[in-house]
Amino acid sequence: MSEESVKDKPLKIDYTPPAKSWLEPAVDFRKGNYGYPASSKHEMYLGLENPREWHPPEKDWKLPKDWKEIILKGMEDRLSRYRSFRLFLDICVRCGACADKCHFFIGSGDPKNMPVLRTELLRSVYRKYFTLSGKVFGKLAGARELTEEVLKEWFYYFFQCTECRRCSVFCPYGIDTCEITMMGRELLNLVGCNINWVVEPASNSYRTGNHLGIPPHAFKSTIDFAIDEIKEITGIDVEVPINRKGAEILFISPSADYFGSPHWYTFLGYLLLFHEIGLDYTWSTYASEGGNFGFFHSADLAKRLNAKIYSEAKRLKVKWILGGECGHMWRVIHQFMDTFNGPAEFLEEPVSSITGTHFDNAKSTKMVHICEFTADLIKNEKLKLDPGRNDKWKVTYHDSCNVSRGMGLLEEPRYILQNVCNEFYEMPDNTIRERTFCCGSGAGLGSDENMETRLRGGFPRANAVKYVQEQYGVNLLSCICAIDKATLPPLLEYWVPGVEVAGVHELVGNALILRGEKERTTNLRGEPLAQGEPLDSPA
């Protein structure tokens, strides 16, 4: 396996650019650096273009005969539909400020991972076919013919971008490579070039409601399992309503929360919290996925998947929607959902029935982030918390790209953390908040076959974690993104052994003192509590 070969020898990072000009397309599909192509079964289920069996390292990609016309027409179409696309292709001055802002460049040294060059891969083709200077001056103006080699390069590098928007923060014009990558992927889709870890989860979400393809009875049994586990840990019976009509709130979270690890403990945290405050809410099996893998494919597929949330809210006649810990799910909800599938006039402006707080910032979309919700509960002293139950952990917080740069949710999770744990340490300023580094596995890159790319992309994040580990003995990285929770553990195991990953609401669940609970002897992971236990002092 590629993963093992990577672990055997340390990754080399060299920032010296190669001698050959980037204008010459060259891509080497080395194992560990690309995702497997989308399976035709799932492409067909979703009705996507050119479903077939193919493999990137092979010469023949089985493209449609008129693939070039398709791409160029698709480009023209998108230039007229997206101002961002046309503008960002036109105004870059190649100042290079973005170059060392991309985690993939920092971890690989591959110059085509500099945001400016990632975009030039597409921009060069734009110049050739859509600009006067490119048509007249050709290569001198940085214009390139669209060839199969160029297309292969697009595939390689647009699936080596996690759409994290960090470059956009540093660009003097706000050029957002995420927009370019999204367009690049849309164009690749037109000729059937996408990866399976985007298409299969999207197809599963479309059919079963969640990306793991979990049918309703399995969803129900996993919830029953959680109820049992909570009973064991706290002695409390929690009720978990599913598809209940007339609830006040529909709760949507990424499906990994109820199937992945360490997501699971965050899931327990939600259930404890909702029980304790007596929230009138429901889960849904039809909309059992907050994450939107369609977003990594195309705007249309994102919209198709996102439609379920409002449609289910309408069917269940809820008043508003609460959303769990997830990164790109929140980018879609914050910046796209209302436009995609709104207006949600059948819903009401969100008001916390526990504190009476009006969430004015969600007046139109009518969906509130759980960190906003919980921070409000804590501020209004509606929760009894014992941060000592998290004393096992020295905690740091990883801002997920999408909730920071796509939303600006920075202080809410920090406020919660400061109330639920005693030792909290920030990573260096260059690596948090709007400058946060991606986990390196978002936007559909979180599969195993591209492990080298992931480890390289995650290196800057891991490097900052290592810093707080050495400085303060940090042993827990908290975050509010399902992809982070899935992909940071192997990343940290490689770069910073000894640091675990947890969701913020796992720590809330640990600290939360429930009415009528038995004395807790373990945290939600079933590990003995460090404090108040006669048999502690494990060190």
Partner 1 sequence: MGLWYSISGVLALLLLVLIGVGGIRLYSVFGIFIPYLAVILFIFGFVYRVLKWASSPVPFHIPTVSGQQKSLPWIKADSIDSPYTTGGVVKRLALDILLFRSLLKNEKVELEAPHRLLFRTSTLLWLGAMAFHWSLLVVVLRHLRFFLEPVPSALVVLQRLDSILQNLMPIIYISDVILLIALGYLFFRRVIYPQVKYISLPSDYFVLLGIAGIVISGILMRLIYKVDLVQVKEWIMAMLRFRPVSPKGVNLFFYVHLFFVSLLAAYFPLSKLMHMPGIFLSPTKNLRNTSRNDRHVNPWDHEVKVHTYDEYEDEFRDSMKEAGVPVEKE
Using CB under 8 A as the binding rule, the residues of this chain from 94 to 123 that contact partner 1 are: 94-97, 99-101, 106, 111, 114, 116-117, 120
CB of 117 to partner 1, least distance (A): 6
The tokens for 517 are 């609970």
State the alpha helices, DSSP H only, in 285-361.
299-315, 328-332, 338-341
Stretch that binds partner 1, among 26-34, 398-406, 502-510, 522-530 (CB under 8 A): 398-406
Query: Which DSSP letter does residue 435 get?
Result: G
Pairing of strands 395-398, 249-252: unpaired
Query: Which DSSP letter does residue 336 get?
Result: I
In the bound state with partner 1, the residue whose beta carbon lies nearer, of 66 and 237, is 237
Verify binding: residue 338, partner 1, rule CB under 8 A. Answer: yes
Chosen residue from 236, 351, 354, 410 binding partner 1 by CB under 8 A: 410
DSSP E strands, 172-319:
249-252, 281-282
Verify binding: residue 156, partner 1, rule CB under 8 A. Answer: no
Verify binding: residue 87, partner 1, rule CB under 8 A. Answer: yes
CB of 66 to partner 1, least distance (A): 24
Verify binding: residue 285, partner 1, rule CB under 8 A. Answer: yes
Neighbour order of strands in the sheet with 320-323: 281-282, 249-252, 320-323, 367-369
CB of 99 to partner 1, least distance (A): 5
| Residue 262 preceded by cis peptide, ω within 30 | yes
The helix/strand/coil state of 313 is helix
In the bound state with partner 1, the residue whose beta carbon lies nearer, of 427 and 486, is 427
Note the maximum CA span of the chain. 80
Verify binding: residue 168, partner 1, rule CB under 8 A. Answer: yes
- Within 234-273, which residues bind partner 1 (CB under 8 A)? 242-245
Verify binding: residue 54, partner 1, rule CB under 8 A. Answer: no
Chosen residue from 64, 74, 213, 216 binding partner 1 by CB under 8 A: 216
How many helices (H) and strands (E) are present in the chain, helices listed first?
A: 23, 7
Q: Are 397 and 409 in contact (CB under 8 A)?
A: no
Verify binding: residue 367, partner 1, rule CB under 8 A. Answer: yes
CB of 183 to partner 1, least distance (A): 12
In angstroms, rounded to a whole number, what is the distance separating the alpha carbons of residues 95 and 442? 27
Verify binding: residue 131, partner 1, rule CB under 8 A. Answer: yes
Residue 477 parent element (H or E): strand 476-479
In the bound state with partner 1, the residue whose beta carbon lies nearer, of 313 and 486, is 313
In the bound state with partner 1, the residue whose beta carbon lies nearer, of 208 and 266, is 208
Verify binding: residue 10, partner 1, rule CB under 8 A. Answer: yes
In the bound state with partner 1, the residue whose beta carbon lies nearer, of 120 and 325, is 120
Neighbour order of strands in the sheet with 476-479: 395-398, 476-479, 500-503
Phi-psi region of 408 (alpha: psi -120 to 50; beta: other; left: phi over 0): left
Residue 54 burial (CB < 10 Å; 0-12/13-18/19+)?
middle
Verify binding: residue 12, partner 1, rule CB under 8 A. Answer: yes
Chosen residue from 221, 353, 471, 521 binding partner 1 by CB under 8 A: 221
Verify binding: residue 202, partner 1, rule CB under 8 A. Answer: no
Stretch that binds partner 1, among 66-74, 194-202, 330-338, 501-509 (CB under 8 A): 330-338
Contacts of 17 (CB under 8 A, 6+ apart): 111
Binding mask 170-199 for partner 1 (x = CB under 8 A): xxxxxxx--x--------------------
The tokens for 511 are 């600290």
Verify binding: residue 21, partner 1, rule CB under 8 A. Answer: yes
Verify binding: residue 399, partner 1, rule CB under 8 A. Answer: no
- Within 487-516, which residues bind partner 1 (CB under 8 A)? 495
Chosen residue from 5, 147, 261, 361 binding partner 1 by CB under 8 A: 361
Q: Are 111 and 117 in contact (CB under 8 A)?
A: yes
Chosen residue from 43, 110, 276, 412 binding partner 1 by CB under 8 A: 412
Q: Are 407 and 331 in contact (CB under 8 A)?
A: yes
Pairing of strands 367-369, 249-252: unpaired
Residue type, 467: Y
Q: How many residues are present in the chain?
A: 539
Number of residues counted as binding partner 1 (CB under 8 A) = 121
Binding mask 287-326 for partner 1 (x = CB under 8 A): ------------xx--xx--xx--xx--x-----------
Chosen residue from 423, 434, 448, 500 binding partner 1 by CB under 8 A: 434
